[in-house]
Structure 1
């Protein structure tokens, strides 16, 4: 069983790398769909409802413990969260795994200052059509999806920052 788990993790990691041929889309306000609302349990305790973040720019990041690019990206997201916290930007991580036992160890290795949500039933990840790990969705102050980034390569955080700055300037 342990061998199967390790093999699956390696296969999943390879899939992440293959998907690293990233997809990014930036939408104009008039053509932007509303971000579907959800309420998920926070790893830190309590629940978080996405629509309660209206008035803020939200960077919503879907990730998994087995995803190598996610491990590389997470510290960069934490830097963005800290840099923009006082400017009305909220970073939210959404773990998409049905079993959460690895989340504690992951966050011990890579501590973050932003909320981590647990999507154990894949409600949010299905609603947002998450097809690659990681997937980052940037939502404007009115709750509209303004950009979508699938996969991650070092330097993508600059794209996120450009999107955030553009939305803060609106």
Structure 2
């Protein structure tokens, strides 16, 4: 039987609790943006100018290419993005953010920062900074892909002793 202390020490439980609250706070701020949270990710990624094509963006964001087409249609209809032929490959489309899209993105990001502050309110300011830094480093590391030694026994994450059995 799982005790409350074991549950609270479980990373998955903690991540899910934080994610659930973050989703509630952030989705409420994205309801009027075409595509909601997915539309935000597309708009933010397009603002960075990377990846270079519609198909590459779909792959990077893990969005089905058909769904990506509908998201882009909605964002374009709202005047937030434009699709332009890629000069290097006229079959490919580059996604660019319009001035109105940049303004909207800034407003949404300000609103999301307010949601983040509400979420992180139980933490001291320094703890908030550390948590953001650690999450960012973890996310960047995960985006880089798995490296050598990816297979790690769960108990090795909390117990530095030798593993009972190899992976």
TM-score by length of 2: 0.30
Structure number with higher relative contact order (C-alpha < 8 Å, ≥ 6 residues apart): 1
State which structure, 1 or 2, has the greater radius of gyration over its C-alpha atoms: 2
Q: 1 or 2, which has the higher helix percentage?
A: 2
Q: 1 or 2, which has the higher strand percentage?
A: 1
